[in-house]
Each structure stands twice: as C-alpha cells, then as structure tokens.
Structure 1
Amino acid sequence: MPGFNHNMETELQQNETMVQPEQTRSRFLNSCNGCRARKVRCIKQRESDVVCINCRKRSEDCRFSRTKVRKARSAKGQSRRQTKNPDAADPVTPLSRAPSSPCARSQPDNLMASPSRRSIVGSSDAEAQFVPSGTGTTYAANQMASTTPVDYPVIMANEQDVSISSLAYFSNSKLIALSRRIGTTQVADLLAKVEAAVKSTTRSPGGVSPYPNNLEKEARSVTLSQQCRLDYIQSYFDQVHPLYPFLDRASFENRARSSRVGDIGSVDPAWCALYHAVLGLGSLYHECGSFDAFSGTAWDIFRVSLDFFPRIVFGQINLATVQAMAAMAIFSVTYEALPIEGVLISEAARIVSHFQITKAEACKTNQEFQRTFWVIYSLESEYCLNTGRSSIIPSHDISCPIPQTNLPFLSGFNWLQCKAKHAQMASDIYQRLFSVKARSSSQALRRREASRCLEELEAWRLSVPESFRYAIM
C-alpha cells in the first residue's frame, strides 16, 4: 500500500507540473515541511508563532514552503477553452465537498446508469476543485468555525492521517490521480454513491430519537404471542449464539418461562433488557428486520431494552447486567441500530473495564462471566479498529481465562478462543500501525511492523480448521 500511495502522489505532482496556469499567485502552506513529511497536524501555540509545537519539541527547523495557487479564470477564457475542447470531462468532485442534498445524492445513480465513459483530460479544470495535498485538512482544523463530526466524510481519507475508518483510503489527491490514470470519473461517481448510502445508514436520521419516551407504552406496543417468543428465542440460539456464545441456554429458557416479562415494573431491569434484546435478535430471522435505522418490528422489540439502558449503567453490576450489555451491543451491529453502535459497544466495554471484569479474580470460576467478557472484548476491539480509535479495554491488562467453547457443528475447536485471539490481534494492530505513536514512526519501521502483522494474521488463519478456514483470493 505505501508504494501505491507514493506512485499516486508522484503522478499527481507530475500532472500538476504539466499544466501551466495562465495566472498564478503564491502563498505559504498552512503546514510546515516537517509536519507534512511526518503526516501529522501542524499546530501553533499562537497565531503569531513562527515555529509549530511539533518542531519545537523535536528542536528542528520549522519551515513553511510556498505553493502556487491559480487565480480565477475569466469567463471569456473558459468559454474559449470549452469551444476548443467540447468533449472535456467534468471536474472530479471530491467526496469531502460533494453536496449532501437529496438531488445531489441522486446524481451518482444517473452517472452510473449512463453507458458512456467520461474521460479525463490532462489539463482539465479538476485541479481547481481540489485542495493542494497536505493543506486542506490542516487549514480546516485551524479555522475557528470548523465542520462538525456529522459532516465528515465516511469513506474518504484526509491528506495527513492514516485513516478515519476502515473504508477510508482515497483522499482528494489520490482520487484525481487515479481518475486520470484510468481515464474516467466512474470511480469518483461510485464513491460518491457509496458515501451517500453509508452516511444515510450510519448517521442518525434527522429529528429521530432512538430513545423511547414512555416505557409502559413501549412495552404494551410489543404484542407477541407465546409461540412467537419461543420461535424468536429458538432462532437466537440457532443463529446468533454460536457466534457469540455468552448465554447458558438452559438457564435462560427456564427463567424466560417462569418470569412475568409482561409486567415491566416487577421484573429485574437487567434481565428484562437481556430478554428483549434476545427477542429482537431472534426476530431478525423471521422477516422482522429493516435496512432503515430505528424502524422495523425488531427495533420495536429492542426499544424496550434501550429504555432500561440508564438503569443498567447506573445500577448494580452483576452477571445479568453484563449479559444485557453484551446482547445490546450485538444488536447494535445490525442495520436497525447501526447509528448507536458506538454508544452501546463502548458502554459495554466501559462496564467490564471499570468493574475489573478483565481480571481473573473478578470472573473467578464463573464461565458465563468469562464468556460474556470475551464476547464484549471481541466486539469492542473490532469496532475500534474499524473506526480508527484505541480500545477502552487494554489488551496487556487482561487475565480473564478463555473457557472451552465449541461450535455445535465443529466439535473439538474452541471457537471463543479463536475469536478472542483475533480481537487481541485487532487491538495490537491498531497500536502498532494506526495509533498516534505509530504514525510518528519512520516509514521503514512501519513497513516492518505491517509485515509482522501480516505474518501473525496468516498464522492465526492457519490455526483454524481447514473446513472452516476462509480462503485468500
């Protein structure tokens, strides 16, 4: 990947040198040469300072290079160029500047449906649509009125950070270089389409609150027959439990039959939240789900669990509490609750970390506690790696044993141990490759670490039974 990134940036620089603008002016870049080389944010303590904080700490010279910025072209010159080359391509619009209106989001559909391919001309006006490499992110960060996190793109990377999510690879400069290389803007169109679709799914809809206003009303709205409840529980243990094996099926089903779950006021809040989260997950396999956030029958069932969320967080911590948070965290990775995935997973991880459930002494000999911890840890580690943040649960401070947990269709294979190992590797990979400390390391060191990570991942893959092992294409 680093070699590919270098080639893309080199091509962009070559493309820029080939184009001689009619009128140019120069200005200083907002990021010094050292910070641009290290790909870190260039920050001054005061606006009048001539040395940034990073260079002061490193006792290095802080130099700001100049860049040439094309002035606005006259309408007469633009019309002359359009007359000479009527087939010139439209500018490639970076996703970070793509319009977010409904009309704008529908444009990629029309572009993708068109059979014609739009070509990129070497001297097109696309350069004017892009911020020069290494300046856009820093300049925006230094402004008093910056965009809010909800406005940030989901699948676009900025020019300085390693990534902002697991989907973020193309920055503005890489996108225009790639478009010129392949001779079409269809990649940009496709990314704009994916960006709009992902944002509509992962961001909370405007004016929609996932939190219920009235618990009694929510509970009464969930009218399920006894047979439906039994079917949903059966589907949960058949489909979900093998992947997240933290519940004891016999004890859960016995309590579900004996408890008066319809009487919300007399039931333990943690148990009621766990029960409805299990029902919600099981109902997904009975055509009760939805691809829209906060909608569908499964979501209506889960809203009862969500209402107990404050009581769980501020209540007494026991096995039912931790299991309820684990079930709610699992439900958060579905389409119905994807906008609140981070809240539920992070809170589950905070609870097990704050109450020292990571320690062997806390779990003692209770295997349900142990299995629940490792399920929460695996969810949180993978979520943090995918979203570019450090884990709440430090992997070096875990002494909780991993109980033997076999898959019903693959006896002799400890599935939970395999899943826990993968989660520990995900947490370790973030620290070694994507953390702030890792980004300040040299490129050669990061390449060596990346090679070691690939070797460890391959060793983990080979430890899985061949019949259950995924293949590398």
Structure 2
Amino acid sequence: MSLASSTSSFLSAPLERRRRVPDALRQRIEISCDRCKKRKRKCTRPDEDEACVACSQAGAACISTLPRKRRNLPSRSKRYATLDAIVRKLYPDEEVDTVEGLAGIAERLGIEVAELVGAHGQTSGESIEPWSPSAQNPASFENPELPPEGYLVPAPRGGHHYVGPASLVYFAKCVRHLVAKSNTLKKPSYDEAGLRRYLQAAEFTAYKVSHTIEANIQGHPATFAAGHEQALSVTSPADLRSETSPNGTASRDIRLPERAISDALVNAFFDRVHPNFPVLHKGAFLVSYKQSLAYIDHTTDPGDACTVYMVLTLGAQALEGVLGQSQALQQTYLSIVIREGLGRLVLTSNLANVQALLLLSLYQHNAGERNTAWILIGQAIRAAVASGLHRDGENCDLNPFERNIRRVVWWTLHTFEQTVSLALGRPSFSDVINVNAKIPETLFETGIGLPAGYLQHYVSLSHFMVKIKKINAILSVHYQEPRQLVERYAGVIAIHAEIINWKKSLPDSLSLGQSFETPIHRRLVLLLLIWADYLESVLCRPYLLARVHQDLEQSVQSSEIGEVAGLSVSAAHASVTKLLILAEYGLLESSVWLDFYCAQHAIMVVSLHFLGQPCSTEWDDTRESIASLISVSQTMRLAPTYRITMNVALQLSCIAGIGPEIPVSLGTEPPHRSDVSLKPNLSQSHLLSGIDMDSFSQLEQIFGPVPHPVDQSEPAMYGDLYNLGYMDETSNPWDFFDIGSFTGDTLQTLPESDPAAEVTHGYEGQ
C-alpha cells in the first residue's frame, strides 16, 4: 500500500478507530502542572503530591497555578449550558466554578443538595466544566473582564481613528451627554449673562472630535512637512542644498542656520525639552553638533542627522513668539526629516534612529498630530526592541556610558508611550514581558540633569497607567449604571491606596517642602507629583460621571460613588495647586511638554462637578484655583494640541459657571474694525446680530493674541483654534454640547438621545 493511500485511509477512518486509548479508559487528568500545560503534553505523576515525570527529568519546579482548561459548550447538553449561563448571570460575584460554591448558594436559598453531591464532591451528572467568557469574576481587578470596544472616529484626511473608552475623547463625549441633560442650557435666556455663556460655549460646539487627535492645521509646519499643503513663502528644503554637493537627496549636504540662531535653538532644546524628555546626552550631542559646523555632511548617519534636525525643530517650537523665523525653521527641518529621513529611519534599527523617532513623535504630538505621534511611537518601540534597548546588554560588550544611555532612552520611550496610550485609550506596546533594562545609575542620572531617583519613581508611576486604563475603560461605559460601579468600588479604592503609598514612598529629595538645587529640580519634582494627582483623578473619573448623572436625574446616590467622585475632584484640585506653583516660578511649560494635559483634565473634572452641583460650597477654593489657572493660561502661548484641549476645557468651565468673566456688549452701536488677524465667519450672520464686534476681539483671543505675520508672512496657523466656531454647517455640523442653534431670539435645544445612539450620531462626519 502506498503512503498516500494509507494516509487517506487513516484520515477517512472513523474518529473512534483512530483513538489510541479506548473511550472507556479515557479520563481527564485531575491536576496538570504549568509546564506541561504550556507544552500541551500529558502530565503524569506517581502521586498527586509529587512532581510530574516531565518536570523531574528536566529538573524544573513542578507547580500548578494556571486555571483548569475548560471544555467547549458543544460538548455539553444545551440544557446544562443554559442553566450555567443563568446561574452566572444571577450570581456574578459568587464562585460558581466549583461544586462547593454552588452548594453554598443552594444552602442560602434553602435548597437541599445532599443527594445531588457524591462523596468526592462530584455531581451525579457530567463533570465537564463549561466554557464561558464570564467565568472570571467581573469584580476582579487582578484579571478584569475585557475592556469594552472603542470607537472609530472619521479622520480629517480620510479613514478612521480608533479611540478607546478610557480616552479623553470618550470622557468628553460623556460630558457632552451630561451637558445635554443639564437644565442650565435648556432654559432660554435673553439677558447678557445668558448670551455670554452661550458665546463662550460656542467654540466648544464647533470642534470636531477628530481635531483633538489630528488637528490638520492649515499653515502649520507639521501639515506642510507631511505633504498636505504647499509651502507658504518659507525656505524650501531644496534651497538648503550645498552648491558643492552632488544632486540627489541621498548624497547632498544640508546647511544649518547661521551659528547664532543654531546655538539659540540648541540651547532652547536643552533648557525646555531635554529635562522632560531626556533621550539625548547633552555633552555627547554638543560634541557632534560642534563638529558639524555649517553643514550636516551627506555621509552622516541618518539617525544622527535627523536627531540634529529635530533638536533644531523642537528648539524653534520652544521659541515661537520669540524668534521671528521660528515657523520657517520648523517647516524647513521637519520637512527634511519626514520627506527624506523617515524612510531610512524606519527601515533600520539603532539607538540614533530611536532617538530621532522619539523627538519627531514629541513634536507631532505638540503640533496637534497625536495620531501621527502614536504611529511614530510604535515604530520607535519596534526599533528599540530590535536594537535590544529593553534588555540590559548582558551579552554585549557595552561600556557604562552606552549601557546607561540605552536605559534612559528605553524608559523615556516607555513612560511617554504609556502617557499617550492612556490619553487615547489605546493599548500599550512597550510592556514586553522580557524587559530587564535597569534604571540608569544615579551618577549618570544626575549627569543628564535629573534629580537622583527621579526616573525610578517616574517609571513606577507609569506602571499604574496600565491598570487605570483597563479599569477606566470598563467603568466609563457603565457610568449610568451605579450598581456596576459600586461592585468595583473595592478594586478602585485599592489602586487609589497604591498611588497614595507611592507618594508616601518618595524620598525627601523628590518631595515638596524642601530646598531645590535648581529650577529644573523644582519643576521635575512638582511635575512628578502632578502626574500622580492626574492618574488619581483619571482613576476615579467614572464615579464623578456617575455622580453628576445622578445629580441631573435627581436620583438616590450611593455613598461609594459620592466618595470616589470626591477623590477625583480632590486630586484635580491638588494638581491645579501645583500647576499654579509652577506658573508662579515661571516653570509652567506650554509649548513643548504635556503640562496642559493635566491642566485641561483638572479643569474639566472640576467643571463637571459644578455642572452637577452648581450651588456647592465645598469646593469654593477649587473654583478660585481654576479661575487663576485659566487666567495664567491666557497669558501663555500654547502649542496646538494643548490649545485645542484647553479651549474645550475653558468652554466647559464657562458652561459650569466657574470660568472667567468675558464682557459681552449687547448695545446697538455700529460695529467697528478691531485690530485682530481673525474675524468670525459671517456666513452665519444671524448669530452675530446685535453684538458689538469689539466683543469678538476678546472672545476669539482666548489664549493670547494671534501672532501677526512676521518677516516671511508667517501662516495663520491658529485660525481654527481661536475662532468661536462660526463656520459653515456643511463643513462643521457637529454641535458638541447639543445646545442647539441660537437664532437671535430663540435658543432651541435638541431632544435627549440615548447614549448608545449618541455615540453613532456624535461622531458622524467628524
């Protein structure tokens, strides 16, 4: 018989004939060790208390910690499967996977079960355990249920962006629903205060969800460099080609700015960016930078060259409003990196490439392109793992400097990715299981300008982000179901206690109330504590949503929800207090780091509290702190990402009645031209009737004056960020707060919709 025919005969034989062990003798092994389960082999042991044969031969520890594998439902009767599902649904917090657990439930219900259970605890029926996705205890945070599905938001340039239920975008969606339920915005108002509140909220109503992820700002260097628009009278990358160098992007030399400007950009980078994002060693970088003189030679490694360009670009971003050619410089060198260097960065992996990708992702994040930043971070993680940065180089002959700079880059990448992942509600990819990279040595850490022990505690704080993101995703979608939140109260309080213990574990050098060696030391310590407050507030945020929902519904509130909601507001207040200290010392960063992530979130949390309890006096000092923080923000130049999110937070604060007062004239004086570079869109002129144009010069300048064109006609990059949202309905149809349209003498509101339908409607066309 041929091999083919014998194989065919074997495959066509009935299943019973092919089994090596007769059905009568087949039995399931009671206990299998973890090692045998992973290798999918039979676990044979002489005695249940002895090690199995395989582990004994391998000299490995024989332990059993993994859960017993479940059989599929098709192997059970439909009746048993149905009964099992009913029991699990009725008793989600009970142990229903063992006979003892079921017997306990039956005993409490007064059901006699003695005749159903045998001497060895086995039922008289089948003993196969059914598979069910709800088998895990839904109240468990050690192994919580899978997070709910996120949402696909249509992107400005086509396609979709995914945002998870733990994201700030989903939080804003929930807030919108609560504002729509608020009676405050449903009562027609014709007085000055009512009109002022509406106008202050109008900008928020005009923003699209996708603009908070991918701003696509016309005229911004990031938009131009990505090839989405033409150059706007700035130096073209082609103009920087050396006259003596050969043609072609792969072989030409790139001219740097004149030395005084170049030095200013490098100094700005190491003064403003590097302390927050230490992916470079200043001394090592300056050595190579000074050797480059006027040109980046075409033989320079692409990673090293792109790192220099990104240092110049981020330095120019930090000097916006100070350096006249900042926009032109950003556009020039960012274009070189994206159009000519990026393809080479992503195809090879080394330390310099990872550093360049990280700097590029930070710039894109600041520039409103958070989705692009997310993609670049993912590429940086892949390149870092491919280069072994997640390992400590135990098998390589690395000198102490190389080993420590690799550690710094890896952990900076890890913490940045965790932060962005939490904000977008997306999974993290830097949590690879075989990381053994250590924290840099203290001498090296202080040598790059960080306080001793800072990075260790920052990394340990980032570990909370994974837990918080997972739990927040589960709880946020259930904020209208108090029972779901009450069931998970203990788990949330446990994680909150871990954060409090983390704060208590900080050494004196990383605590308030002590003298700081340098301003940077003061800033980093305050920022570390601010991030802890931020995470604490995010953790408890779903309970605040639930409490405000109950406030608006005037329903009975549980003490657990009120307690945890108060923790969220308290943490937000604590972060605002520290942010004001940073501002007092001139250390609050508005352009090149994420300070205003925390500011925006704190303002929204406190505003949400007052939306539900407008007459509350418990947090009056918080109300004053929020007003102070907003006033400080209005004097600063915010990068696009933080400008967009702060505009959102400001409008919510105004709707909640805790925002700054902006005078609005209702007189009939003829409008006159005000000295601003942006004007409201008059295509909706019915919105503007009876309003003095002078008021718009104040209303549209929410965070400082729009920059006037300088030198080479600086693009009006903030047009869609400053205006109050008077846009064509066809181009921007989404009313964020569902507060309706203002038609001169009537304020119409949309009917309330159910949250599930609102998700689909809310993101439509965004």
Q: Provide the TM-score with structure 2 as the length reference.
A: 0.37
What's the CA shift for 1:282? 1.6
Separation in 1, partners of 2:199, 2:489: 32
What is the aligned counterpart of 2:497 among 443, 452, 455? 455
Question: Do the aligned partners of residues 235 and 216 (structure 1) sit closer, same or farther apart at CA in structure 2, a change above 3 Å counting?
Answer: closer
What's the CA shift for 1:423? 2.0
Residue 449 of structure 2 corresponds to residue 433 of structure 1: no
Separation in 1, partners of 2:276, 2:175: 35
What's the CA shift for 1:257? 1.6
Question: Do the aligned partners of residues 344 and 223 (structure 1) sit closer, same or farther apart at CA in structure 2, a change above 3 Å counting?
Answer: same
Give CA-to-partner distance per residue, 1:17-72, whole Å, 9 cap, x none.
xxxxxxxxxxxxxxxxxxxxxxxxxxxxxxxxxxxxxx99x9469xxxxxxxxxxx
CA contact (8 A) 2:167 2:422 kept: no
What's the CA shift for 1:224? 1.0
Alignment match, 1:325: 357
Alignment match, 2:262: 229
CA contact (8 A) 1:236 1:281 kept: yes
CA contact (8 A) 2:304 2:353 kept: yes
Alignment match, 1:217: 238
Residue 174 of structure 2 corresponds to residue 170 of structure 1: yes
Separation in 2, partners of 1:168, 1:424: 25
Residue 407 of structure 2 corresponds to residue 370 of structure 1: yes
Question: Do the aligned partners of residues 271 and 147 (structure 1) sit closer, same or farther apart at CA in structure 2, a change above 3 Å counting?
Answer: closer
Residue type at the aligned position of 2:330: A
Separation in 1, partners of 2:297, 2:356: 16
Question: Do the aligned partners of residues 431 and 367 (structure 1) sit closer, same or farther apart at CA in structure 2, a change above 3 Å counting?
Answer: same
What's the CA shift for 1:388? 0.6
- Count of aligned pairs: 330
What's the CA shift for 1:416? 1.9
What's the CA shift for 1:231? 1.9
Q: Relative to structure 2, which stretch is displaced further, 301-310 or 337-346?
A: 337-346
Residue 511 of structure 2 corresponds to residue 465 of structure 1: yes
Residue type at the aligned position of 1:217: A
What is the aligned counterpart of 2:347 among 302, 314, 319? 314
Residue 462 of structure 2 corresponds to residue 423 of structure 1: yes
What's the CA shift for 1:235? 1.9
Q: Relative to structure 2, which stretch is displaced further, 317-326 or 434-443?
A: 434-443
Alignment match, 1:203: 215
SS across alignment from 2:488: helix
Alignment match, 2:417: 380
Alignment match, 2:436: 399
Question: Do the aligned partners of residues 454 and 319 (structure 1) sit closer, same or farther apart at CA in structure 2, a change above 3 Å counting?
Answer: same
Question: Do the aligned partners of residues 320 and 246 (structure 1) sit closer, same or farther apart at CA in structure 2, a change above 3 Å counting?
Answer: same
Separation in 1, partners of 2:173, 2:427: 19
What is the aligned counterpart of 1:284 among 310, 317, 332? 317
Residue type at the aligned position of 2:431: P
Separation in 2, partners of 1:323, 1:162: 29
Separation in 2, partners of 1:188, 1:344: 39
Alignment match, 1:103: none
Residue 253 of structure 2 corresponds to residue 247 of structure 1: no
Separation in 2, partners of 1:411, 1:273: 25
Question: Do the aligned partners of residues 188 and 280 (structure 1) sit closer, same or farther apart at CA in structure 2, a change above 3 Å counting?
Answer: same
Question: Do the aligned partners of residues 310 and 410 (structure 1) sit closer, same or farther apart at CA in structure 2, a change above 3 Å counting?
Answer: closer
Separation in 2, partners of 1:174, 1:222: 54
What's the CA shift for 1:328? 1.6
Separation in 1, partners of 2:461, 2:425: 17
What's the CA shift for 1:188? 8.0
Residue 307 of structure 2 corresponds to residue 274 of structure 1: yes
Residue 190 of structure 2 corresponds to residue 148 of structure 1: no
CA contact (8 A) 2:270 2:282 kept: yes
What's the CA shift for 1:166? 6.8
What's the CA shift for 1:324? 1.4
Separation in 2, partners of 1:183, 1:189: 15
CA contact (8 A) 1:433 1:446 kept: no
Residue type at the aligned position of 2:174: F
Question: Do the aligned partners of residues 429 and 206 (structure 1) sit closer, same or farther apart at CA in structure 2, a change above 3 Å counting?
Answer: same
Separation in 1, partners of 2:498, 2:344: 41
CA contact (8 A) 1:346 1:392 kept: yes
CA contact (8 A) 1:277 1:301 kept: yes
Identical counterparts, % of pairs: 16
Give CA-to-partner distance per residue, 1:382-437, whole Å, 9 cap, x none.
00000011101126543211113656899853222232222222123213432699
Question: Do the aligned partners of residues 175 and 249 (structure 1) sit closer, same or farther apart at CA in structure 2, a change above 3 Å counting?
Answer: same
Residue type at the aligned position of 1:394: D
CA contact (8 A) 2:225 2:334 kept: no
Separation in 2, partners of 1:282, 1:375: 19
Residue type at the aligned position of 2:512: E
Give CA-to-partner distance per residue, 1:414-463, whole Å, 9 cap, x none.
22223222222212321343269998995345333322232233333442
Pairing of 1:76-115 with structure 2 (within 5 A): none
Question: Do the aligned partners of residues 359 and 226 (structure 1) sit closer, same or farther apart at CA in structure 2, a change above 3 Å counting?
Answer: same
Residue type at the aligned position of 1:227: A
Separation in 1, partners of 2:329, 2:317: 9
Separation in 2, partners of 1:344, 1:268: 19
Alignment match, 2:204: 194
Residue type at the aligned position of 1:360: D
CA contact (8 A) 2:274 2:280 kept: yes
Question: Do the aligned partners of residues 218 and 419 (structure 1) sit closer, same or farther apart at CA in structure 2, a change above 3 Å counting?
Answer: farther
Separation in 2, partners of 1:184, 1:239: 47
Q: Provide the TM-score with structure 1 as the length reference.
A: 0.57
Residue type at the aligned position of 2:262: R
Residue type at the aligned position of 2:497: E
Residue type at the aligned position of 1:466: L
Separation in 2, partners of 1:325, 1:367: 19
Separation in 1, partners of 2:490, 2:338: 45
SS across alignment from 1:343: helix
Larger Rg belongs to: 2
Which sections of structure 2, spanning at least 5 residues, go unmatched? 1-80, 88-147, 242-253, 514-524, 530-573, 578-766
Give CA-to-partner distance per residue, 1:177-227, whole Å, 9 cap, x none.
224588579788756523645755633247955336999517449761012
Residue type at the aligned position of 2:365: V
Separation in 1, partners of 2:185, 2:379: 45
Higher relative contact order (CA 8 A, sep 6+): 2
SS across alignment from 2:268: helix
Question: Do the aligned partners of residues 229 and 200 (structure 1) sit closer, same or farther apart at CA in structure 2, a change above 3 Å counting?
Answer: same
CA contact (8 A) 1:242 1:407 kept: no
Question: Do the aligned partners of residues 247 and 390 (structure 1) sit closer, same or farther apart at CA in structure 2, a change above 3 Å counting?
Answer: same
Separation in 2, partners of 1:347, 1:195: 35
Question: Do the aligned partners of residues 409 and 300 (structure 1) sit closer, same or farther apart at CA in structure 2, a change above 3 Å counting?
Answer: closer
Give CA-to-partner distance per residue, 1:126-175, whole Å, 9 cap, x none.
xxxxxxxxxxx99xx9xxxx9734499x9xx99xx555637525355422
Separation in 1, partners of 2:156, 2:292: 42
CA contact (8 A) 2:216 2:368 kept: no
CA contact (8 A) 1:349 1:393 kept: yes
Question: Do the aligned partners of residues 211 and 258 (structure 1) sit closer, same or farther apart at CA in structure 2, a change above 3 Å counting?
Answer: same
Separation in 2, partners of 1:195, 1:339: 22
What is the aligned counterpart of 1:302 among 334, 337, 345? 334
SS across alignment from 2:169: coil
